Structure 1
Amino acid sequence: MTTRSVFSRFYRGEISADIVGRPKLWYSISGLLLAFSIAGLIVQGLNFGVEFKGGSVFTIPAPSASIEQVRASVVDSGVHGETKVQKAGDDWRVTTVSLTSAEVAKVKQGVSEDLDVSANSITTQVVGPTWGGEVSKKAWQALLVFMVLIILYLSVAFEWRMAVAAVVALVHDLVITAGIYAWSGFEVTPATLLGFLTILGYSLYDAVVVFDMIKEVTKPLSTTSKITYSEAANQALSSTLVRSLNTSLVAILPVAAILFIGTTLFGAGTLKDLSLSLFVGMIVGTYSSICVATPLLVQLKEREPKYRQLRENIARRESSAKRQAKVAKATRPVGGATVDDEPDDEPDAAQDDVPSGAPAGVTVRKVVQTGPRQQPKRGTRQQRRGK
């Protein structure tokens, strides 16, 4: 069977994959992704935008100018410190440290003369560090409230084990997305925060769909059932797997179009910040809801006495069935008689001996003498002569 045929059957739901039974594989992949992401956060760090750390933003309508000309024009106007220049459509977006009103006017005049643009067409925006700190504080508060609400909802709608698995998957998605964002060097803006919050909602939606199916499939399980909780959960996951993949694919395609086409062809800076977080978060969220949250939930549930007893009962029945099969294989009928293949500790006094010419089903009994042989009595010499 070709790989394409297997994939087609899997996509149509004709065959299922043992996802729940391979937690070490998925945890290893997640561990590598987390290590890569944490390294990016430590080495590169997040590139926070002016909205978070404060600064001045100049939008310069000079499509014919190069990035070096724009940066040199701003620096020559008396700006010290880090200066970031980005292309935003036909305009240039220049971010500097916080400037006073007089310094802003000086920069506008210098850029206007160097790049031959009108000073009135150059727009400016000054953001103080205090306002940026407030934005960061509110973002963390919103994330904390969101997490608490998720835990409460899942604990009430399902149970605390599902809430723990979902929260672990959400933290997993946030760390990996933030790490990739750090390695890419993209600027963290308010649009990025919106993308992160959207990731949380999307990942939670995928996990809730899977958990609801698992709850429905595992509800009839008892200590006398024939399948374990892990096997039932894997069946439930397999039944929703294709739907989850289709939903994720349909959502990722337009986001990919915004990220790779909109930013490269149209230079949509704000959409770039939003689309990168959504693109990475949706892919990682789909993976975590299937390969992280579900195996973790199964491991937590298998520790319950009910399901632990169920697993022991199934193992006991399987062991008994194997022993019976072994006995049945060892004792099998030969020529109408039952022959035990296992040798006895002591030889029998009499054994059946079937000659090669004997018909099938006929048993010839061969008597084996075990005591001393009795010799016939001989008479006296006179008695023998008398005969």
Structure 2
Amino acid sequence: MAFRLKLVPDETRFDFFRHQVLTFGFSVFLVVASVVLVLVQGLNFGIDFKGGTTIRTESTAALDVGAYRDALAPLNLGDVSITEVFDPTFAADQHVAMIRIQAQEGDEAITPEQMTAIEGALVGADAAVKIVSTESVGPKVSGELIWTAIWSVLAATVAILFYIWLRFEWQFSVGAVAALIHDIVVTVGIFSLFQIKFDLTIIAALLTILGYSINDTVVVFDRLRENLVKYKTMPLREVMNISVNETLSRTVMTSGTTLLALIALLVLGGDVIRGFVFAMTWGVVVGTYSSVFVAKNIVLFLGVDRNKEKKDPAAEFFTEKVSDADN
């Protein structure tokens, strides 16, 4: 007999709505607290949103990111990000790095004197290094990036709103979008609370969280729709509980295996992707929570018209054609 790992029994009877006032109230508190944190404390924007200078370097010696960072630290340049660039077209002894330095106070780009100091510091860490190119991003472009990021998240949310509306009912759509807004706002609030660097990679993480969270919500909504037909006289709250319990094993396994990979990346992935992975890890946790305790509570509050029989457009079209033919 094959061994099967079960994190959750096949049949569970948890009452997920027993403390719905507390769970939903806690979610509302988190959203309000996150908004207040962002308004009062702000976000620790990275170079992508603050502007700065990007320096591309090449060296024949193996790249040591830590040595580069230590060499630049005494220059007090502010936020400095160093990443190694990999490309299959590079030669065996071609080691490329991208050094991003935040905009200096009073200047959009670093001054020639600072560039000379940077080059000298890098040569001190790696005698074979040379600066290949430099590019500067001003505050105006950075401001445009912020608005572009905001519109991208809003556009994804609106698209999901219409998708759920067409696939289910408008009550399901409102619940799903409320859960998504909850996930995004609370994630941004965590970044504001701990002042973790917020850059374009975090925007990518937020968009990924939207997709992950709605996937979990749709799975439960699908089961709920099936059970609404199966248990026509059962109260909506009980049908919801059954639906969540029936999909609980799938939810725990999916979230658990995803978290295993994310935690490994969070611990071993290094500084370059740590912000992105942290956002994803937090997003998986809060997204799973909101699928049950936010989306379902909204649907329960709004109610569902269970007496409404949906008509099949294809069947109606066929019936009309047959009727016309008879006439």
| TM-score normalised by length of structure 1 | 0.64
For 1:164-175, list aligned pairs within 5 A: 164-175=174-185
Equivalent residue number for residue 241 of structure 2: 234
Kept in 1, the 8 Å contact 2:52–2:138? The answer is yes
Q: Deviations over 1:179-204 (max 9, x none)?
A: 11222322222211111000001111
For 1:322-337, list aligned pairs within 5 A: none
Q: How far apart in 1 are the matches of 2:99 and 2:68?
A: 12
1:183 and 2:193 correspond: yes
Kept in 2, the 8 Å contact 1:83–1:95? The answer is yes
- Structure 1 pair 272/122, CA: closer, same or farther in 2 (3 Å)? farther
Q: How far apart in 2 are the matches of 1:123 and 1:261?
A: 31
Comparing both chains, which one has the higher relative contact order based on Cα–Cα distances under 8 Å and sequence gaps of 6 or more?
2
Q: Deviations over 1:102-133 (max 9, x none)?
A: 35643434435765745615864422223323
Kept in 1, the 8 Å contact 2:14–2:245? The answer is yes
Equivalent residue number for residue 37 of structure 1: 34
Equivalent residue number for residue 88 of structure 2: none
1:48 and 2:45 correspond: yes
- Structure 1 pair 233/36, CA: closer, same or farther in 2 (3 Å)? same
Selected match of 2:288 from 280, 286, 289: 286
Kept in 2, the 8 Å contact 1:108–1:122? The answer is no
Equivalent residue number for residue 60 of structure 2: none
Kept in 1, the 8 Å contact 2:228–2:306? The answer is no
Partner amino acid, structure 1, of 2:153? L
Equivalent residue number for residue 20 of structure 1: 17
Equivalent residue number for residue 250 of structure 1: 257
Equivalent residue number for residue 111 of structure 1: 121
Kept in 1, the 8 Å contact 2:55–2:135? The answer is yes
Q: How far apart in 2 are the matches of 1:42 and 1:286?
A: 27
Tell which deviates more after alignment, 129-138 or 169-178.
129-138
Q: How far apart in 1 are the matches of 2:41 and 2:257?
A: 32
Kept in 2, the 8 Å contact 1:256–1:279? The answer is yes
- Structure 1 pair 64/35, CA: closer, same or farther in 2 (3 Å)? closer
Kept in 2, the 8 Å contact 1:20–1:298? The answer is no
Q: Deviations over 1:333-369 (max 9, x none)?
A: xxxxxxxxxxxxxxxxxxxxxxxxxxxxxxxxxxxxx
Q: How far apart in 2 are the matches of 1:221 and 1:88?
A: 56
Q: CA deviation at 1:278?
A: 0.7
- Structure 1 pair 261/63, CA: closer, same or farther in 2 (3 Å)? closer
Tell which deviates more after alignment, 49-58 or 59-68.
59-68
Partner amino acid, structure 2, of 1:19? F
Equivalent residue number for residue 96 of structure 1: 102
Kept in 2, the 8 Å contact 1:56–1:125? The answer is yes
Q: How far apart in 1 are the matches of 2:274 and 2:69?
A: 19
Q: How far apart in 2 are the matches of 1:104 and 1:160?
A: 58
Selected match of 2:168 from 142, 149, 158: 158
Max Rg structure: 1
- Structure 1 pair 34/141, CA: closer, same or farther in 2 (3 Å)? closer
Kept in 1, the 8 Å contact 2:47–2:79? The answer is no
Equivalent residue number for residue 381 of structure 1: none
Kept in 2, the 8 Å contact 1:13–1:242? The answer is yes
Q: Deviations over 1:68-121 (max 9, x none)?
A: 75232x34xxxxxx6124565898956231326735643434435765745615
Kept in 2, the 8 Å contact 1:62–1:92? The answer is no
Total equivalences in the alignment: 284
Percentage of identical aligned residues? 29
Kept in 2, the 8 Å contact 1:53–1:132? The answer is yes
- 3-state SS of 1:126 partner: strand
Equivalent residue number for residue 197 of structure 1: 207
Aligned CA RMSD, in angstroms, stands at 3.2
- Structure 1 pair 16/128, CA: closer, same or farther in 2 (3 Å)? same
Q: CA deviation at 1:257?
A: 1.0
Kept in 1, the 8 Å contact 2:161–2:174? The answer is yes
For 1:241-320, list aligned pairs within 5 A: 241-263=248-270, 267=271, 269=272, 271-301=273-303
Partner amino acid, structure 1, of 2:303? K
Equivalent residue number for residue 373 of structure 1: none
Give structure 2 stretches of 5+ with no counterpart: 58-62, 85-94, 309-327
Selected match of 2:143 from 120, 133, 150: 133
Selected match of 1:83 from 78, 84, 87: 78
| TM-score normalised by length of structure 2 | 0.75
